[in-house]
Amino acid sequence: MALDPTKYADWEIAEAAEATMKTVYQLGEELGLEKEELLPHGHYVAKVDYKSVLERLKDRPDGKYINVTAITPTPLGEGKSTTTMGLAQGMGKRGKNVFATIRQPSGGPTMNVKGSAAGGGLSQCIPLTPFSLGLTGDINAVMNAHNLAMVAVTSRLQHEFNATDAFMKRRGLERLNIDPRNVEMKWIIDFCAQALRNIVIGLGTRRDGLMMHSGFAIAVSSEVMAILAMAKDLEDMRRRMGGIVVAYDKRGKPITTEDLGVAGAMTAWMVEAINPNLMQTLEGQPTFVHAGPFANIAVGQSSIIADRVALKLSDYVLTESGFAADIGFEKFWNIKCRESGLTPHCAVIVATIRALKCHGGAPLPLPGQPLDPAYNEEQLEWVEAGCENLIHHINTVKKAGINPVVCINAFHTDTDNEIKLVRRLAEEAGARVALSRHWQHGGEGALELADAVIEACDEPSNFRFLYELETPLRERIDLIAREVYGADGAEYTPEALEKAKRMEADPALQKLGTCMVKTHLSLSDDPLIKGVPKGWKLFIRDILTYGGAGFVVPVAGAISLMPGTAANPAFMEVDVDVETGKVKGLF
């Protein structure tokens, strides 16, 4: 019997459920996997040989494809992962063959404020400890592959600086003339470490490398992680790996990993990581956990490979995109669907009364601080005003030609009047609406949501992209700013404008997608502005090139690729029972 989530912590609920969960061998048998296609990592986690499954089932029709997104969240989140797990459980209760695909959590938020993103209450992905603490080593592989590129460029800089042309020739090396002031990549680590954002390397003698400015970003922002999410197969991954721009030479020509001779070795680190990781919901529905890019600073999607395999193995696939519809869903719509060729049948927009109040004028919640008491009281004016943000996201989904389903992710403090108000306004905006209590009741609490999603998938859709790849870069940015964020257009720093013009003049770069970097806490580029801001322009301060992943990356506002750790991080609650070896305190 499941524990009551109002009385027990998530890790306690997960631990209790793990005592009776299915083994990966049971999951594999239920999915119809061949014995050789299941690659166990213990009894409850396995990788799946994607290549074998896709080849064997190439003639089987795909299942129906559903995206899970949200309104603009508070710093406390909207519960997309919880909803994805709960919806899978609810559809399972309805007898549907359903598969969920979600991202692997980064150690940064897991050990900081947000937690592990396994879901919560009675709607979780289990087993919780491996999910939260490294899983099968994919992020470690990403870090090794990425940092190997940094080893290659810093080593090459040192040797070229110190070596004569004759020395280079004897070793069969062409002088690349890398500009040490124009190394675009940084090192990565999978924690939030603000002290590493800006560093100086190469201190000491010339044997210790060339002294230069450098820094660290968080692992999930790495282009290698984006490639894991976007690659269609190993051949495609190898090609993309060679296109990563590491630095520029003294004439401004890009230097790639292929130029440095390191792309093959980087791919070697990723050979095992390309296979998706099989886990399960609290009620036994299969779940792929694969790739982990954030949506505010990266592409924000689980892997294309995981989705393709799941679509062959089930009738319905739920894939979650990071944060709200302005960033996670927009990238799903215009990047992931374009790269994969997959067409979604509907999108679930998760909303909480708590966040609607925040967008409607309630005091801003602060991470680690108690909520203002007003959040636990009926506040219809705040809820109604906040629904402007919800309706904005409904309209974004409708612009993609996809059927929207609003999930009211219920809290016990929500009142009937508040729920009725949200339901009425969302239905008037053209969305199906379902109340879901999956956090408290698991699949039984998500039956209304499951029914709404099944109905939406049976209706015709008219999927279309926001822009075509022939659209010039600045026009694309303007379209995203106006149509998705609600801005009056975009403006640029002189450096970003110069880069944009150069990219527009390069036919190869013109074919790349556009992956925006923007705060997830507002539709605007200012995290403190809630609701639906009016009369503003998106400020583009830089544009990065992710040639291997397949997109250019406009950076909006003051956002960092390396988050900071808070004063009261989650790791302070994590410990180990030394008698049993079990981890406790994860959430």
Q: What is the pLDDT of residue 227?
A: 98
- Cα–Cα distance measured from residue 255 to residue 249, given in angstroms and rounded to the nearest whole number: 7
Residue appearing with tokens 């984006």: 226
Q: How far apart are CA 320 and CA 323, in angstroms?
A: 9
Give the per-residue SS3 of 189-218.
ECCCCHHHCCEEECCCCHHHCCCEEECEEE
Going by C-alpha positions, the residue among 278, 240, 384, 221 that lies closest to residue 33 is 278
CB atoms within 10 A of CB 61: 8
What is the pairing mode between strands 119-120 and 123-126?
antiparallel
Given 22, 93, 94, 411, the catalytic residue: 411
Contacts of 471 (CB under 8 A, 6+ apart): 479
CA torsion angle 474 478 484 488 (round to 10): 160
Q: Are 223 and 549 in contact (CB under 8 A)?
A: yes
Please indicate whether residue 333 is annotated as part of the active site: no
- Which of these, 403, 397, 396, lies nearest to 452 by C-alpha position? 403
Tell me, yes or no, if 114 is annotated catalytic.
yes
Q: Is 281 a catalytic residue?
A: no
What was the pLDDT predicted at 1? 64
Looking from the CA of 505 toward its CB, the CA atoms found within 13 Å total 6
Helices (H) and strands (E) in the chain, counts: 22, 25
404 beta partners: 347
Model confidence pLDDT, tens digit, residues 473-491: 999 999 999 999 999 999 9
* Cβ neighbours, 10 Å, residue 204: 9
Which residue is associated with the tokens 């460029």? 153
Angle at 214 between CA 208 and CA 215, to 5 degrees: 120
Distance from the Cα of residue 489 to its chain's centroid:
26
443 three-state secondary structure: helix
pLDDT for position 510: 82
> Which one is catalytic: 103, 331, 437, 474?
103
pLDDT score of 368: 67
Give the amino acid at 408: I
pLDDT recorded at residue 226: 97
Of 295, 362, 431, 481, the catalytic one is 295
Q: What are phi and psi of 137, to 5 degrees?
A: 95, 10
Sign of the dihedral defined by the CA atoms of residues 469, 473, 477, 479, in that order: negative
Task: State the maximum Cα–Cα separation within the chain, in Å, rounded to a whole number.
Answer: 80
Q: Which of 80, 156, 437, 474 is catalytic?
A: 80
Enumerate residues 6+ apart whose C-beta is below 8 A from 26.
none
Selecting among 47, 64, 96, 114, the annotated active-site residue is: 114
Is 295 annotated in the active site? yes
In whole angstroms, give the CA distance from residue 455 to residue 447. 12
Residue 571 annotated as catalytic: no
Both tokens of 47, joined, read: 């990788």
Distance of CA 241 to the CA centre of its chain: 20
Q: Which amino acid is at 415?
A: T
Give the bridge partners for 555, in sequence order: 517, 542
Residue 80 appears among annotated catalytic residues: yes
Domains located in the chain, CATH noted:
10-136+273-457 (3.40.50.300), 138-262 (3.30.1510.10), 473-556 (3.10.410.10)
Distance (Å, rounded) from C-alpha 533 to C-alpha 485? 9
Q: Which residues of 240-266 are buried (b: 16+ CB within 10 A; e: fewer)?
A: bbbbbbbbbeeeeebbbbbbbebbebb
How far is residue 16's CA from residue 14's CA, in Å, rounded to a whole number? 5
CB atoms within 10 A of CB 342: 18
Listed as ranges, residues in the chain with pLDDT below 70 are 1, 367-368
Distance of CA 201 to the CA centre of its chain: 30
